[in-house]
Amino acid sequence: MRMEGTVTTTDESQAPARTRRGGDPNVTWEDTAKHIGEDYSGGIIMVADERVDKVMLSRYCEPAEIGNPTYWDEEIARMAGYRSQVVPWAAVKEVPTYSGLWRPGQPTRFPLDADVDFQSHLASRQPSSGNPPMPPTNANFFTDMTIEFFEPVCLGDRLTTMGRVLHHVTPRETRVGVGAFTGYTTNYFNQNGQLVAKATQGSYSFVRKAEADIVR
Amino acid sequence: MQAFYPPVDTTVRWAIPPQVYFEQVNEGDAIPAVDFNLTVQRMIMFVGATRNFPGLHHNDRIAQANGATGIFLQNNSCLMLWERVVSDWMGIFGRVRSATFRITEFHLAGDTIHVGGTIHKKWQENGLNLVDLAMESKTPRRVGMTGTVTVALPSLKYPSTTPMWDRDGKATIVCQ
Q: How far apart are CA B47 and CA B42, in angstroms?
A: 9
Residue B165 within a domain: yes
B 29-68 residues inside an 8 A Cβ radius of A: 36, 42, 45-46, 48-56, 59, 61-62, 66-68
Confidence bin at A15 (pLDDT 50/70/90): very low
Between B87, B98, B100, which is nearest A66 by CB? B87
List pLDDT tens digits, range A27-46: 999 999 999 999 999 999 99
What number is the ipTM of this complex? 0.92
Mark yes or no for CB contact B83/A64 under 8 Å: yes
Best of B13, B43, B59, B87 to disrupt the A interface (most A CBs within 10 Å) is B87
pLDDT in tens, A154-192: 999 999 999 999 999 999 998 888 999 999 999 999 999
**Count of pairs with CB atoms under 8 A, one residue in A, one in B:** 153
**Which band of pLDDT confidence, cut at 50, 70 and 90, is reported for residue B139?**
very high
The CATH code of the domain that includes B131 is 3.10.129.10
Per-position b or e across A38-57, b if 16+ CB within 10 A of its CB: ebbbeebbbbbeeebeeebb
Mean pLDDT taken over chain A:
88
Q: Which of A71, A81, A91 sits opposite B173 (nearest CB)?
A: A81
CA A95, A97, A100, A103 torsion-angle sign:
positive
pLDDT value at A16 more than 90: no
DSSP annotation of A209: P
Q: How many percent of chain A have pLDDT more than 90?
A: 75
Interface test with A, best of B76, B108, B165, B172 (most A CBs within 10 A): B76
Task: Quote the CA–CA distance of B5 and B16 in Å, as a whole number.
Answer: 25
- B81/A64 Cβ within 8 A: yes
pLDDT of residue A22 exceeding 50: yes
What total number of domains does chain B contain? 1
pLDDT at res. B8: 57
Helices (H), chain A: 29-33, 54-61, 74-79
CATH architecture of the region A2-7+18-101+125-213: Roll (3.10)
What lies within 8 Å, CB to CB, of B176 at 6+ separation is: B124, B127, B128, B129, B155, B157
Q: What is the pLDDT of residue B132?
A: 98
| pLDDT, mean over chain B | 93
Q: Is residue B65 in a domain?
A: yes
Structure confidence at residue B9 as a pLDDT band (50, 70, 90) = low
Predicted pLDDT of residue B175:
79
| d(CA A144, nearest CA chain B) in Å | 4
Domain map of chain A by residue range? 2-7+18-101+125-213
**Does the structure show a pLDDT above 70 at B101?**
yes
**pLDDT over 90 (residue A216):** no
The closest CB to that of A59, out of B13, B48, B103, belongs to B48
Contact (CB<8Å) A90/B17: no
CB-based burial, B108-137: b 16+ in 10 Å, e otherwise: bbebebbbbbebbebeeeebbbbbbbebbb
CA distance A24 to chain B (A): 23
Chain-centroid distance, C-alpha A2: 18
Query: Does residue B13 lie within any of the structural domains?
Result: no
From chain A, the residues in CB contact with B102 under 8 A are: 143-144, 202
- Subunit contact B17:A67, Cβ cutoff 8 A: yes
Q: Across residues A86-92, what is the average pLDDT?
A: 96
> Do A186 and A201 meet the contact criterion of CB atoms below 8 Å apart?
yes
**Nearest neighbour of B49 by CB, restricted to A17, A59, A139:** A59
Residue B64: give the domain boundaries.
22-173
**CB-based contact A81 B162, cutoff 8 Å:** yes
